[in-house]
Amino acid sequence: MPMLSSLPADSSRTAHPAASAALPSYLQADKLGPWGIYLQQVDRVVPYLGHLARWAETLRRPKRALIVDVPIQLDNGTVAHFEGYRVQHNTSRGPGKGGVRFHQDVTLSEVMALAAWMSIKNAAVNVPYGGAKGGIRVDPKTLSLGELERMTRRYTSEIGIIIGPTKDIPAPDVNTNEQIMAWMMDTYSMNEGATATGVVTGKPIDLGGSLGRRDATGRGVYTVGVEAARHIDLDISTARVAVQGFGNVGGVAARLFAQAGARVVAVQDHGGTIYRQAGLDVPSLLAHVAAAGTVAGFAQAEVLPDAQFWDVDCDILIPAALEQQITAANAGRIRARLVIEGANGPTTPEADDILQDRGVLVLPDVIANAGGVTVSYFEWVQDFSSFFWSEDEINARLVRIMKEAFAGVWEVAQDHGVTLRTATFIVACKRILHARELRGLYP
Measured in whole angstroms, the distance separating CA 247 from the mean position of its chain's CA atoms is 14
* Sheet architecture: strand order including 79-90: 64-73, 79-90, 131-137, 96-103, 168-172
For residue 212, give the nearest of 404, 406, 390, 367 by alpha carbon.
Answer: 390
Contacts of 67 (CB under 8 A, 6+ apart): 83, 84, 85, 108
For residue 63, give the nearest of 42, 83, 93 by alpha carbon.
Answer: 93
C-alpha 134/C-alpha 346 separation (Å) is 18
Catalytic residue set: 133
C-alpha 123/C-alpha 94 separation (Å) is 10
C-alpha 342/C-alpha 70 separation (Å) is 30
C-alpha 165/C-alpha 350 separation (Å) is 38
C-alpha 390/C-alpha 216 separation (Å) is 14
Question: Across the strands, what pairs with 164?
Answer: 168
- Cα–Cα–Cα angle for 346, 61, 29, rounded to 5 degrees: 50
C-alpha 277/C-alpha 301 separation (Å) is 9
